[in-house]
């Protein structure tokens, strides 16, 4: 079993829909990243969080340390949000463990 | 601030050859990490350099080696290339802060194809 599991693996939605991507992990962590990767490979860090909730524009990330679960939400989704979203945790040894990513496709 | 830069962008090699990939960290960052991302997979940690030394290493064979220079830039070397080494190689930099998790900033990656 992977230490970081994401769901769904693939998600197709209509423009304007509310999107939720989930991440569950099985190791002790000091922080969790949500990353965005566009075709071509470049990765952008969206959030790093250790507790609670963070918001940036239409993006919201939450984490529940007790349940070892995090969610990434996108409100009013847009085709330019189409990308792979990757959850990555920093474990107690300061190593980053990545999920396999969720491929999001927003249809106009 | 140019952010994290990597070179080259793309590279094609044949089996058995050697390759060197380069990374310049974001200004103010002194820690560089390298990752391998196979098609359709999440990145896998190769190793991390700090103060010109390899500080941590993932499950990669000795064919994968690295170096960090006094200006904090870094190289990833892969010897005796295999077809399975074809991947996107990502470099990420972060500032070294004791006792705190560090946000990593990623470069655009180098896409290596081994024929």
DSSP-derived secondary structure for A31-81: EEEEEEE-TTS-EEEEEEESSEEEEETTEEEEEETTTTEEEEEESS--GGG
Q: How far apart, in whole angstroms, are the C-alpha atoms of residue B15 and residue B104?
A: 32
Contact residues, chain B to chain A, C-beta under 8 Å: 33, 35, 37, 40-45, 56, 58, 88, 90, 92, 101-109, 111
Q: Report the SS3 class of residue B59.
A: coil
Instruction: Please report residues of A whose CB lies closer than 8 A to that of B109.
Output: 41-43
State how far the alpha carbon of A70 is from the alpha carbons of A5, A7, A57, A66, A100, in Å.
10, 11, 18, 11, 15
A100 touches B: beta carbon within 8 Å: yes
pLDDT above 90 (res A59): yes
Q: Is B60 left (phi over 0), alpha (psi -120 to 50) or beta?
A: beta
* Contact criterion met (CB below 8 Å) for A98 and A5: no
Would you place residue A95 in the very low, low, confident or very high pLDDT band (cuts 50, 70, 90)?
confident
Angle at A37 between CA B53 and CA B109, to 5 degrees: 40
Of B40, B41, B105, which is closest to A45 when you measure between CB atoms? B105
Of A90, A93, A100, which is closest to B42 when you measure between CB atoms? A100
B22, two tokens: 């380069």
- Sign (positive or negative) of CA dihedral B52, B106, B41, A48: positive
pLDDT of residue A1: 67
Mean pLDDT by 10 residues, chain B (115 residues): 89 97 94 92 91 91 96 97 96 78 85 96
Mean pLDDT on A70-88: 96
Residue B43: Cβ within 10 Å count: 29
Instruction: Please report residues of A whose CB lies closer than 8 A to that of B98.
Output: none
- Mean residue pLDDT of chain A comes to 93
Q: Among B15, B19, B17, which residue's Cα sits nearest to residue B115? A: B15
| Per-residue DSSP letter, B45 | E
Q: How far apart, in whole angstroms, are the C-alpha atoms of residue B35 and residue A43?
A: 12
Q: How far apart, in whole angstroms, are the C-alpha atoms of residue A18 and residue B32?
A: 36
């Amino acid at each position: 079993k992977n230490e970081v599991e994401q769901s769904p693996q693939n998600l197709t939605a209509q423009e304007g829909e509310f999107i939720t991507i989930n991440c569950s992990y099985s190791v002790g962590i000091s922080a969790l990243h949500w990353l965005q990767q566009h075709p071509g490979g470049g990765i952008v860090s969206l959030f790093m969080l250790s507790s609670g909730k963070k918001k940036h524009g239409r993006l919201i990330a939450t984490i529940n340390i007790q349940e070892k679960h995090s969610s990434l939400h996108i409100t009013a989704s847009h085709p330019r949000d189409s990308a792979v979203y990757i959850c990555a945790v920093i474990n107690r040894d300061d190593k980053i463990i990545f999920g396999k990513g969720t491929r999001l496709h927003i249809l106009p | 601030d140019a952010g994290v830069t990597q070179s080259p962008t793309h590279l094609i090699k044949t089996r058995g050859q050697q390759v060197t990939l380069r990374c310049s960290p974001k200004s103010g960052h002194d820690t560089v990490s390298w990752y391998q991302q196979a098609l359709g997979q999440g990145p896998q940690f190769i190793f991390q350099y700090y103060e010109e030394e390899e500080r941590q290493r993932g499950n990669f064979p000795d064919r994968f080696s690295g170096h960090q220079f006094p200006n904090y830039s870094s190289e990833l070397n892969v010897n005796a290339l295999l077809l399975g080494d074809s991947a996107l190689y990502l470099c990420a930099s972060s500032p070294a802060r004791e006792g705190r998790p560090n946000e990593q900033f990623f470069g655009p990656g180098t896409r290596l194809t081994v024929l």
